[in-house]
Amino acid sequence: MHRCPRARSPEEILYHDTERGKPSHDEHYLFEMLILEGMQAGLSRNTILKKRENFRKAFDNFDYHKIQNYDESKSLELMNNPGIIRNRLKIEATIKNAKSFIAIQKEYGSFDNYIWWRTKGKQICNHFQKLEDYPTTSQLSDIISKDLKKRGMNFVGSTIIYSYLQAIGIMNDHLQDCEYK
């Protein structure tokens, strides 16, 4: 079995084989991955994947309707939760991003409509041969990042958004010889 070499731990292998590069149009999943990608900033994917269930419990299963209403008390509870990334800026960004996510849903009918319209609903399949070929950003991630920031989101820089686009399947960047391409 041949897969992309970045997938090494059991969590990374499961994510690689079942999620990464697979198109998703599920609002809940789109929000979850947006938050997890932001939480990953400065950390390894493996760290986030190992804590994923803890994040789900701590953040009400990524229910953005609940998260938008988190108050200072809930923020303090999250800051004291050793099972998640206890970064105040990332926690505050999660709350802020939930509000922006809902505003985008109202404007576009769904976040799915917003995030997929730039590719007309089509997946972008790149044909990289080796890890060194991977970019960290793209013109598309630059555009979406800039727009999300304008809409009030945080932890949505172009590198984070490029990884997000891979996570939700807009970008299929599995290496050309990966059987999960």
Q: What is the mean pLDDT of residues 27-36?
A: 98
pLDDT at 42: 94
Dihedral (Cα; 22, 120, 162, 176), 10-degree rounding: 50
pTM passes above 0.85: yes
1 pLDDT more than 80 = no
Q: Percent of the chain, pLDDT > 90?
A: 96
Token pair for 136: 């960290």
pLDDT digits (tens, 9 = 90+) for 62-106: 999 999 999 999 999 999 999 999 999 999 999 999 999 999 999
**Burial label, 46 (beta-carbon count in 10 A; 0-12, 13-18, 19+):** middle
pLDDT of the residue at 128: 94
Please say whether the beta carbons of 130 and 139 come within 8 A. no
Q: How far is CA 3 from the centre of its chain?
A: 21
Question: Rounded to the nearest 5 degrees, what angle is found at the Cα of 67, between the Cα atoms of 119 and 20?
Answer: 35
In tens, the pLDDT along 153-181 reads 999 999 999 999 999 999 999 999 999 99
pLDDT the model gives residue 131: 87
User: What is the rounded average pLDDT for all residues in the chain?
Assistant: 96
CA angle 68, 110, 92 (to 5 degrees): 25
Using the predicted structure, report yes or no on whether residue 114 has a pLDDT greater than 70.
yes
Domains of the chain, earliest start first:
10-172 (1.10.340.30)
Predicted pLDDT at 6: 87
- The fraction of the chain above a pLDDT of 70, given in percent, is 99
Within 13 Å and on the Cβ side, how many CA atoms surround 56?
A: 9
